[in-house]
Structure 1
Amino acid sequence: MNKSRFRLLVFLMSLSLIGIIVVQLYWITTSLTKNEEEFKYHVQQVLGNVSSIIKEKEQVAFYKQYDKIIDSTGTVPKEEDLKEIYFYERDKRTNETIIYSNTLVAENYGITGSFFDKSANSVNFDKVISKRQTEVYNGSSINDGSFSMSTQPNITIRKSGSLSSLDKVNFEVAFKDIVAQKSLQKRISNEDLEELLKSELKKYGVKTPFEFGIYSNGLATKIRSDKFRYNKETTYGIPIFQDNEGMSKYQLLVMFPDKDKFVFSSLIGITSLSLLFTLVIVLTYSSALNQLIKQKQISEIKTDFINNMTHEFKTPIATINLALDAIRNPKIIDDKEKVQRYLQMIKEENKRMHAQVENVLRISKLEKNELDIDKEPRDVSEILQDAIDHVGLIVEDRGGIINTHFEAKRNTILLNDVHFTNVLVNVLDNAIKYSPDTPIIDVYTENVKDFILIKIQDQGAGMSKLVLKKVFEKFYREHTGDLHNVKGHGLGLSYVKQIIEDHNGQIYAESEKGKGSTFIIKMPLIN
């Protein structure tokens, strides 16, 4: 897969994932807004119902008191005719005449507002009733002259009753004028208001704690719950106890301290699942993308490894071929000294290739835990000196120097001679390789608590931060284009790290481009 196609694939996958997350967030926000509007609607319905119930209860109580007063007076009301209505109808086929009359009569029991409240103004209560009468005259009519006021009807039907609508309006006007003068505490109590609110909120499924209060012209009254605090975001209100003009100085307020929690509660289940699935998708996507990037890196590393190995083998093979061609030359085959030198060259180059193959096999065995590493207590300074002696000739050949600063007082650790020596030789060899000029290397040891630190510092090319992060990865080598100025195939430091960790130690590097590198090995001491 080429780079542009890979980048396009990553872009489309990322865009799709971001789209899914945005849609999920939009859905959650929209649902939350919808729930909040529904909550507001239900609360307003509840407040409207409570206001109506309070008004109806107050009216019912007033009516009962009025009827009780009427019954207790035992007086005959004064009647006053307000209006008389007559309706005349004649059936031409049967010559039958029907006369309907309706008389509105006001009954005054002499009851005033003071009967209900001593502080009330004098408001008279008149009960308006309707007296209805239907008279049927057979065979008579007004037009034929046989009908007169003295004529007796064949059928007479009389009814009497109150005019409910007019009566109710009349009472309501007087009722509102009187109760408006009562104190708020006489009209409603904390307990009654709380029970009404609880009952109505339960009907609408609003099951969350609430606080309530009644305000008069914007000021708090004694009708309120203990924890009521006005909050613009969580408080809802409605006017109550309106007068005949539709005005009210009282406002019922209800506050829901856990409103946000309640509004969101119905979304918790589906939102949690949505977030969980989104998280799974994100993690899966991240893992897949990480695997893709790693596979791409591995592919590049393997390609680089093959190129490096090819280059590393090409020189020895070419040298061996040249040496063999030289030996076959009749002029040289008789020269034992030259033949011996060419044979030694073939042996050295073969040994070099064999060492590289061994490194690859050693790493493979380490990964499969097939490499047996027997450890025994040893003085690490001795092993370190052996490793320095091993590369000493190479350093001298390049005119360099290795300075030792062994300051550790305790040096005994549990190690495997062969592998730990290889580790130190690899690190030293690495310092020599990446010193483009004369290699100057400093080796330090020091004790830190129950550990010994081995520091190998060079003044070479150094490493960038990106290279420093990957320097211990298998097959990794810093890209230098097509140049192969540094021998190797990227296995040395990977092998070093695995051996050190198998010895329960740690290794890390410090470096800056152009200022050299320091490799630090931290090993536990034997107490």
Structure 2
Amino acid sequence: MFILIVALMSISLIGIITVQLYWINNAVESKKEQFKNDVQKSLGSVSQRINEKEETNFEKTIEGFMENVGLANDAQIRNYLFQEIDTTSKQKFTFGSTFLEENFKLPTDFLDNDSLIVKRVSGKQDFFHTRLIKGVDNIFSATDEKRTSFTKRYSEIEKTYFSQAFGIYKKTKPVHQRISNRELNEIIKEELVKRNIELDFKYGVYSKDGLATKLKSGYYTIDKNDGYKYPILFDTNGDMQHELYVTFPTKKEHILSGISNILWLSLFFILIIIIAFSSSLYQLIRQKKISEIKTDFINNMTHEFKTPIATINLALDSIKNPKIIGDNEKVLRYVQMIRDENKRMHTQVENVLRISRLEKNQIEISKETIDMHDIIDDAISHTSLLIANRQGSLNTHFEAITTEIPGNQFHLTNVIVNILENALKYSEGKPKIDVYSESTNKYFVVKIKDEGIGMSKAVQKNVFDKFYREQKGNIHDVKGHGLGLAYVKEIVDKHHGSVLVESEKGVGSIFTVKLPLI
């Protein structure tokens, strides 16, 4: 069930985050597309304005020149006659005109010893409308519609001459002389602002062969892969001559700013979901661990109580025996056995209650000035018989210069005793224990080293947790409830010190306790 719940929660979390990221990505892509469309429309308007402006300027230049010159370099009169016959209505329309063609040499400033020939066409038009009736030609004045048609033809002749001159101008004039950087920059900026794009931009104009021109933003090199392009200058046939590339250095920030509120809100909720999931998963794992520890503790406690209870029952049954009840010596021995086992159970219960009271801050630890060497000696005396029974050895190496600290004698003695007993429990054969002391400017340091079975890295992380034991289940090769080192950490923390362990499997362990000096 636990694995199923974790799996379902994980799948749900991944699904929610995936959907959120999908919508965020869609929103960003939509903004990019909208931005691209706005830029392309702006560049289209830029291209149109540039071409219209260039044509207008060229036309004004030619007209101004011809007005200033006055006389043409070459002039000739041409007669034109156009006829149109409508066979259905038997009508004939005749357009006759005399044109004066004047050639003006427009000097250029970009080619040596060269000039541009511009023609001006002027003349007088005559319109005739003839209707054929029974072989007789009747002449009427031209209708407005036909007059307009013939005038159009006359205008087309003028446009043809202008178009030819304008085409030569486009071919020979360099692009940076057809429009300046300042004008191009202003036009681009104006068109972008019209579509609410108020960003810094860089631009460059390239020929149709991909060669860079002098029209660009300073020395800035355009990244064509990240830019937007649009044709801006064309020849007389409408074929592209140059392309305008525009890039926006802060484009990403601009796109994200448009959806920043939704983006941050989505990320905020995703973060909440992840935190909630992590917290739930942590609580599940923690409760599962507590449940396992609780089961182990109950098993160990049951076993620890079972032995003294059985011993007490056996002693009581022995005392009731008529043969023994009269033997005072045996009765006293059994009574002492009952007292010892009762004291043992009382000590175990007291250890559990002591840890509980420490966690709830229900134990007030009074502090006084104590000598840590005396505390260590007192603790060693409490365990000396146990070490002797195991035929072990304990050596002290006191090198601390300053040994007085503010602390509680009773609890600090229990701290050293618990660490020494832990060293005895987890030593195979004859235990060998060394106790070292040293002092720094701020701390008194005591190290207790054993050559026992040691512990793995995973065990070291949890060794100071309440009820934690490396052996799991109802295994009792080593007595205890996993409370000794938890008590050690609680007492050391109450003294504003620290305790840590260094261990290697099969080599032994070193417990280091640091306590602040006076």
* TM-score > 0.5 by shorter chain: yes
Q: How many angstroms does 1:430 deviate by?
A: 1.3
- Alpha-carbon distance in 1 for matches of 2:426, 2:251: 68
CA contact (8 A) 2:108 2:116 kept: no
CA contact (8 A) 2:107 2:114 kept: no
Most deviating of 294-303 and 151-160: 151-160
**Percent sequence identity over aligned pairs:** 47
CA contact (8 A) 2:387 2:424 kept: yes
Q: How many angstroms does 1:444 deviate by?
A: 0.9
SS in 2 for 1:110: strand
Distance 1:153 1:246, change over 3 A: closer
Most deviating of 200-209 and 494-503: 200-209
**Match in the other structure for 2:136:** 148
2:513 is matched with which residue: 507, 518, 521?
521
SS in 2 for 1:122: strand
Most deviating of 309-318 and 261-270: 261-270
SS in 2 for 1:162: helix
CA contact (8 A) 1:128 1:167 kept: no
CA contact (8 A) 1:234 1:259 kept: no
Q: How many angstroms does 1:429 deviate by?
A: 1.3
SS in 2 for 1:351: helix
User: Are residue 484 (structure 1) and residue 476 (structure 2) matched?
Assistant: yes
User: Are residue 124 (structure 1) and residue 129 (structure 2) matched?
Assistant: no
Letter in 1 for 2:53: K
User: Are residue 50 (structure 1) and residue 28 (structure 2) matched?
Assistant: no
SS in 2 for 1:402: strand
User: Are residue 273 (structure 1) and residue 265 (structure 2) matched?
Assistant: yes
CA contact (8 A) 2:204 2:212 kept: yes
1:8 is matched with which residue: 1, 4, 8?
4
CA contact (8 A) 1:125 1:174 kept: no
Matches within 5 A, 1:267-346: 267-346=259-338
1:21 is matched with which residue: 17, 21, 24?
17
Most deviating of 244-253 and 426-435: 244-253
2:403 is matched with which residue: 411, 414, 419?
411
**Match in the other structure for 1:39:** 35
CA contact (8 A) 2:78 2:99 kept: yes
- Alpha-carbon distance in 1 for matches of 2:105, 2:475: 113
1:188 is matched with which residue: 163, 166, 179?
179
Structure 1 residues 340-384: Cα deviation after superposition (integer angstroms, max 9, x where no partner): 011001101111111111111111211121101110001111011
SS in 2 for 1:446: strand
Structure 1 residues 405-440: Cα deviation after superposition (integer angstroms, max 9, x where no partner): 111111101111111111111111111111232222
CA contact (8 A) 2:80 2:99 kept: no
**Match in the other structure for 2:437:** 445
How many residues are paired up?
507
- Alpha-carbon distance in 2 for matches of 1:64, 1:54: 15
Q: How many angstroms does 1:281 deviate by?
A: 1.2
Gaps of 5+ in 1: 91-97
1:385 is matched with which residue: 355, 377, 385?
377
Structure 1 residues 271-309: Cα deviation after superposition (integer angstroms, max 9, x where no partner): 222222212211211111111100100010011111111
**Match in the other structure for 2:248:** 256
Most deviating of 454-463 and 266-275: 266-275
Matches within 5 A, 1:426-505: 426-505=418-497
SS in 1 for 2:224: coil
Most deviating of 404-413 and 151-160: 151-160
CA contact (8 A) 1:62 1:175 kept: yes
Q: How many angstroms does 1:169 deviate by?
A: 5.4
Distance 1:326 1:191, change over 3 A: same
- Alpha-carbon distance in 2 for matches of 1:226, 1:510: 65
Structure 1 residues 136-162: Cα deviation after superposition (integer angstroms, max 9, x where no partner): x8xxx72xx3x722x465996674533
SS in 2 for 1:454: strand
Q: How many angstroms does 1:78 deviate by?
A: 4.5
Letter in 2 for 1:84: Q
Structure 1 residues 187-216: Cα deviation after superposition (integer angstroms, max 9, x where no partner): 211211111111111223332211223345
Gaps of 5+ in 2: none
Structure 1 residues 82-106: Cα deviation after superposition (integer angstroms, max 9, x where no partner): 522244666xxxxxxx947363757
- Alpha-carbon distance in 1 for matches of 2:56, 2:460: 89
2:192 is matched with which residue: 201, 204, 210?
201
**Match in the other structure for 2:204:** 213
CA contact (8 A) 2:224 2:245 kept: no
User: Are residue 162 (structure 1) and residue 157 (structure 2) matched?
Assistant: no
Structure 1 residues 227-258: Cα deviation after superposition (integer angstroms, max 9, x where no partner): 42122333333444322344555443323223
Structure 1 residues 463-512: Cα deviation after superposition (integer angstroms, max 9, x where no partner): 11111111111111112453211111111111111111101111111111
CA contact (8 A) 1:128 1:166 kept: no
Matches within 5 A, 1:348-367: 348-367=340-359
User: Are residue 84 (structure 1) and residue 108 (structure 2) matched?
Assistant: no
- Alpha-carbon distance in 1 for matches of 2:343, 2:421: 17
Letter in 1 for 2:10: S
Letter in 2 for 1:392: S
- Alpha-carbon distance in 2 for matches of 1:467, 1:272: 42
- TM (norm. structure 1) is 0.87
CA contact (8 A) 1:319 1:349 kept: yes
CA contact (8 A) 1:240 1:252 kept: yes
CA contact (8 A) 2:296 2:473 kept: no
- Alpha-carbon distance in 2 for matches of 1:205, 1:43: 10
- TM (norm. structure 2) is 0.88
User: Are residue 172 (structure 1) and residue 163 (structure 2) matched?
Assistant: yes
- CA-based RMSD of the aligned residues comes to 3.1
Q: How many angstroms does 1:64 deviate by?
A: 3.6
- Alpha-carbon distance in 1 for matches of 2:337, 2:125: 139
Letter in 1 for 2:329: E
CA contact (8 A) 1:77 1:108 kept: yes
Most deviating of 241-250 and 180-189: 241-250
Most deviating of 110-119 and 69-78: 69-78
Most deviating of 382-391 and 440-449: 440-449
